[in-house]
Amino acid sequence: MNEPLKKIVIVGGGSAGWLTAGVIAAEHSTNQDSGIEIILVESADVAPLGVGEGTWPSMRSTLQKMGISETEFLLECDASFKQGSKFTNWMNNTNEHYYHPFTLPNGFNEINLSSYWQPFSDKISFADAVCEQSHLGAHGLAPKQITTAEYSFASNYGYHLDAGKFGQFLQKHCTVKLGVKHVIDHVTKINSSATGDIASITTKMQGDIFGDLFIDCTGTSSLLLAQHYKIPFISKKHILFNDSAMAVHVPYENSDSPIASFTSSTAQTAGWVWDIGLPSRRGVGYTYSSVHISHDKAEQELRNYLVPSMGEDTANSVMIRRIPLNPGHREKFWHKNCVAIGMAAGFIEPLEASALALIELSAKMISEQLPANRQTMDIIAKRFNDKFLHRWENVVDFLKLHYVLSQRTDSAYWLDNKNENSIPKSLQELIKLWRYQPPYNYDATHTEEMFPPASFQYILYGMNFVTDPLGHKKRVSHAEKADKLFNDNIKKTQKLLSILPTNRELINKIKKYGLPKI
């Protein structure tokens, strides 16, 4: 129990396995004799799902801590810059749209601007009034210039990337530069010790591989946590209905076509279509509820979406891949000396790209709280489970909010999403509260919230939600300060619109010159 933890075995590769390996290896000197030993075991028979193509801004610090050159990452992973999400037809299906940018409302930590914006909501959208980023997105602009150092920015950003290339890139970096050992083999058995911990895994060719901590990154099969330990799955399908997805790669019309700087989410009759701009192609897909639409009809809706950019003949002949989804998560994520990350822990749906962010946060907490020995592991496991159960609940509430606020009545899907029985009590309470006070600091009950109060503001007020303070709360005590912040945003927006290149222009310059090192 008091022996120091020395060896971590990660089962499964892809983005989950290699991000986890990289984050822990970089912090715990895996490439030195005194460091933690990390072995990643993955089967050559199991291909990564490779669908998640959007990240949060947190990915910048994750890559930086791993010692990765941003220029190298951008070029090798066919990556571009993402500044948030754009939602079209979510309110009433009249080609309306709103933005959820990655930038906090101006002066957010000093003053809550939403109350001061509300009287002018018919003249300017919330995102446009409080930050520059929605304006940049509307013009397809990049978040920085070619002279801006790696990972620095003029406007906060994450990435769009090729998930398959990303996994391969991380694998190379982890094995060559961080000292992670890579074993390609098929796991045939999981062996328990007398205490019930996992003592080792048996592989087809390499035999037994022993470890002190085992990390399950085996995707939906959840080989260790679900199959070995039988940790139950908590379904969220009664709240978030989408249980299927279809994905397709879409070529650009020509080599200098614009690269969108926001993930586009366009609502359909029984779900929504994502549209992600990479330098070489677009990644497009439809996530939907098979209870509300047949697979054939869903496929036709996706093809109809593609017609304007591809033409009818190509849109109707392009190969589409179908992916089953099972919205939900495990009852707990860390049991004995095994912790699950990525789809082995759970998955809800692609909306707002929380999957890679949950992997990052999981790896970060394991790395920073790495148990000194087995004696402390259960204490950290309890802390980890409490933290991530809250995070999954936060994700579910936030994603459901997008559907609950819709005014669409054109299909059973949208009507069912507004049914009170499908709305978590926690979200019902928040919506009731937000009718009289806007989301702000007291709504963040934990550190490092998945979706902070600012994100809830962007969705609420993007979808025309009205907060109407009562009585004494109507007093406006910081009107001058609010006016200054609104005006500052106008000036900053005008300046950035005049100096920032488009996404395509910046990517082309990075290919030619690279970004400056910090």
- Please, which pLDDT band fits residue 8 given cuts at 50, 70 and 90? very high
- Please, which pLDDT band fits residue 475 given cuts at 50, 70 and 90? low
Tokens of 325: 């989804």
Give the end of a domain, one of 324, 345, 377: 324
- What pLDDT, on a 0 to 100 scale, did the predictor assign at position 470? 61
Please give the backbone phi and psi of residue 27, each rounded to the nearest 5 degrees, phi first: -85, -25
Q: What range does the domain containing 218 cover?
A: 7-53+162-235+328-392
Q: What is the CATH number of the domain that holds 218?
A: 3.50.50.60
Question: In this structure, are 377 and 336 located in the same domain?
Answer: yes
* Cα distance between residue 76 and residue 168, in whole Å: 9
pTM of the model: 0.95
Query: Residue 477 region, left (φ>0) first, then alpha (ψ -120 to 50), else beta?
Result: alpha
- What pLDDT, on a 0 to 100 scale, did the predictor assign at position 380? 98
Question: In this structure, are 320 and 364 located in the same domain?
Answer: no
CA distances from 500 to 103, 104, 254, 325, 486 (A): 16, 19, 22, 39, 21
Q: Tell me the per-residue pLDDT of 408-430, one tens digit each, with 9 for 90 and over.
A: 999 999 999 999 999 999 999 99
Question: In this structure, are 345 and 230 located in the same domain?
Answer: yes
Give the end of a domain, one of 280, 299, 324: 324
Q: What is the DSSP string of 32-82?
A: STTS-EEEEEE-TT--------B--THHHHHHHHTT--HHHHHHHTT-EEE
CA distances from 260 to 134, 157, 276, 339, 340 (A): 12, 13, 7, 36, 34
Question: In this structure, are 170 and 226 located in the same domain?
Answer: yes
- Domain assignment of residue 81, yes or no: no
Q: Tell me the per-residue pLDDT of 12-36, one tens digit each, with 9 for 90 and over.
A: 999 999 999 999 999 998 877 777 9
| Three-class DSSP labels, 320-380 | CEEEECCCEEECCCEECCEEECHHHCEECCCHHHHHHHHHHHHHHHHHHCCCCEHHHHHHH
Distance from chain centroid for Cα 255: 28
- Domain assignment of residue 438, yes or no: no
Average pLDDT over residues 143-169: 96
Question: In this structure, are 307 and 250 located in the same domain?
Answer: yes
Say yes or no to pLDDT of 446 above 70.
Answer: yes
Question: In this structure, are 380 and 262 located in the same domain?
Answer: no
Tokens of 11: 């089962």
CA atoms within 13 A on the CB side of 52: 26
- Please, which pLDDT band fits residue 472 given cuts at 50, 70 and 90? very low
Give the end of a domain, one of 346, 361, 392: 392
Question: In this structure, are 224 and 350 located in the same domain?
Answer: yes
Number of domains in the chain: 2
Question: In this structure, are 190 and 296 located in the same domain?
Answer: no
* DSSP element (H, E) containing 202: strand 198-203
The two beta strands, 37-42 and 181-184, are: parallel
Tokens 């992670």 sit on residue: 180
- Domain assignment of residue 71, yes or no: no
- Quote the mean pLDDT of the chain: 94
Q: Tell me the per-residue pLDDT of 177-187, one tens digit each, with 9 for 90 and over.
A: 999 999 999 99
Round to the nearest angstrom and report the end-to-end CA distance of the chain.
43
- What pLDDT, on a 0 to 100 scale, did the predictor assign at position 51? 54
